[in-house]
Amino acid sequence: MAVPESIEPLVERYTYHREASIRGQEIYNKSPLRQDFTDPLNKMVQDASRDHDKELLSLQVEATDASIDKLVYTG
């Protein structure tokens, strides 16, 4: 699935923080992660006009949420 252009900055920022956390350079707890990444994705889902766009964004929200859980709970 191609990353929609509107969420590329979120993906890049998430990837940067995830990698820094894995290296032990920063600790990111679950609440800020959700505020920084999942909340904006949910807003994009609400604003999407086409059902196809909503479905793609919803899948991205689920994948991001699962990644946050994995990062926070298993490191």
Provide the pLDDT for residue 19.
79
Residue 15 inside a domain? The answer is no
Provide the pLDDT for residue 33.
72
Provide the pLDDT for residue 20.
78
Distance between CA 5 and CA 9 in Å, rounded? 8
The amino acid sitting at 4 is P
Q: Which domain holds residue 35?
A: 27-41+53-75
The tens place of each residue's pLDDT in the chain, 75 residues long, gives 455 677 778 778 777 877 777 777 766 666 777 787 778 877 877 777 788 878 888 888 888 888 877 777 775
Residue 60 inside a domain? The answer is yes
Residue 48 inside a domain? The answer is no
Q: Give, in order, the Cα–Cα distances in Å from 61 to each of 11, 23, 75.
A: 11, 25, 20
Provide the pLDDT for residue 2.
59
Residue 71 inside a domain? The answer is yes
